[in-house]
Structure 1
Amino acid sequence: MGRKRGFDETAVLDVVRDQFWTTGFVGTSTYDLMAATGLGKGSIYKAFGNKDALYVRVFSDYCQDLVTQAREQLQDGPQAVLPSPMARLEHYLVSLAEAFAAESPRRGCFLTKATADRAGEDKLVAQTARRAYEDLAGLLAAAVRDAQDAGEVADHVDGTALGYLLLSVVRGIDSMAKAGVDEATLRRTARAALDLIPRMDPPQFQG
């Protein structure tokens, strides 16, 4: 029977994620991780592997959580947060803008940071990031198609392309928030992007 670990794995991974998120991969040493977690080098490596493996682990977990949260906010059906697909899209984009602006300090989304920090050097990070972007864009595209089915968005709109466009807007808002753009501007940007989506023409009645 395996020996039970003397620490909370989830709590340790949360601390490690926050350390990498704040100082980046290169800016985080093994000694930094030891100090943050209170674990020895041997304990960290035995439980999670080396620094590279640990970074991929916490980044992958973060991406899965990000996609799950997006699904919960954008999904249609009995558990939908709002009945209207467009209302769900607006709530999702605006709430992200507000969350990015509310951070102090504004460190932005770990997905954006890790993509810039490690995707060019680490194939696993690049693959994980790309999969997260594809999943998020897919959820946004599904919400657009739900809006088409509900008669809110014009039928000719390419839902897949629009999903990636909205994802790009979110990533841009994230970057602007890190640069100190004010919350009101970030919210207006999110709403302006949604206002550009072609809506369904109202029915024409014969007089």
Structure 2
Amino acid sequence: MARTRAFDTEAAVSRAMDLFWTRGYEATSVRDLTQHLGIGQGSLYAAFGDKDGLYRAALEHYRSTLAAAALRDLAEGADVRAAVRALLTERVRIAVGQGGRGCLAVNAVCERLPEDTATRRTVRDMQDASREALTELLRAARERGEIAARHDPHTLASFLVTFLNGLLVSAKITPDARALEPLVDVALTALD
């Protein structure tokens, strides 16, 4: 008879996400995970296959929670500059938190690529979703006359995603929102 899983896998994935986010994939051992999650190694393997499977689940959890919330907030913004500013500054605030742990997705790219194609796919999907949401926001703003008609919304959105990636890496080096937020003002000049 198969044993019933005695732990909440969603809560375990959320806790694993925090551990991977703080320590990184390589610096997090299976033992670290089992101790942090309060489960046995057999339970981890039964639920997720292996450490890599749990890491994938953690990235997906990040995508469906924090990354999805950022996109929802962006869609609710009325004024394009205020919406983009809020998106960028909120991401900086999260990235500098806990001593500058950065962004889980950007950290994953820096640590796991080019070898880990599954991580590349997951993070590319996140970035594509961000780019598409920004493109739609910028397209609507251009139609309302909030940004100049000469701007290509897709190119401008691609720039903002690229800028945000660099900003999130910088947040690990300089985990000080006051030092990084003025850079957001510079990036917003691209909307002029």
Using structure 1 for the length normalisation, give the TM-score.
0.85
Q: Which has the larger radius of gyration?
A: 1
Unpaired segments of 5 or more residues in structure 2?
Answer: none
* One-letter identity of the residue aligned with 1:147: A
More deviation in 173-182 or 163-172? Answer: 173-182
* One-letter identity of the residue aligned with 1:68: A
Task: Kindly indicate whether the alpha-carbon contact (under 8 Å) linking 1:70 and 1:139 is maintained by their aligned counterparts in 2.
Answer: no
* One-letter identity of the residue aligned with 2:18: D
1:195 aligns with 2:168: no
Q: Give the corresponding residue for 2:157.
A: 163
Alpha-carbon distance in 1 for matches of 2:25, 2:58: 12
The total of aligned residue pairs comes to 192
Q: Please show how residues 112-191 of structure 1 align to structure 2 within 5 Å.
A: 112-180=106-174, 182-191=176-185
User: Could you say which structure has the higher helix fraction?
Assistant: 2
Runs of at least 4 residues of structure 1 off by over 3 A? 1-4
Task: Kindly indicate whether the alpha-carbon contact (under 8 Å) linking 1:74 and 1:139 is maintained by their aligned counterparts in 2.
Answer: yes
Task: Kindly indicate whether the alpha-carbon contact (under 8 Å) linking 2:131 and 2:154 is maintained by their aligned counterparts in 1.
Answer: yes
* One-letter identity of the residue aligned with 2:94: A
Task: Kindly indicate whether the alpha-carbon contact (under 8 Å) linking 1:148 and 1:154 is maintained by their aligned counterparts in 2.
Answer: yes
Alpha-carbon distance in 1 for matches of 2:161, 2:28: 29
1:83 to 78, 87, 92: 78
Alpha-carbon deviation of 1:3? 5.7
Alpha-carbon deviation of 1:185? 2.8
Alpha-carbon deviation of 1:2? 7.8
Task: Kindly indicate whether the alpha-carbon contact (under 8 Å) linking 1:64 and 1:132 is maintained by their aligned counterparts in 2.
Answer: no
- Identity within the alignment, %: 30
- Aligned-pair Cα RMSD in Å: 1.9
Alpha-carbon deviation of 1:4? 4.3
Using structure 2 for the length normalisation, give the TM-score.
0.91
Task: Kindly indicate whether the alpha-carbon contact (under 8 Å) linking 1:107 and 1:178 is maintained by their aligned counterparts in 2.
Answer: yes
1:92 aligns with 2:51: no
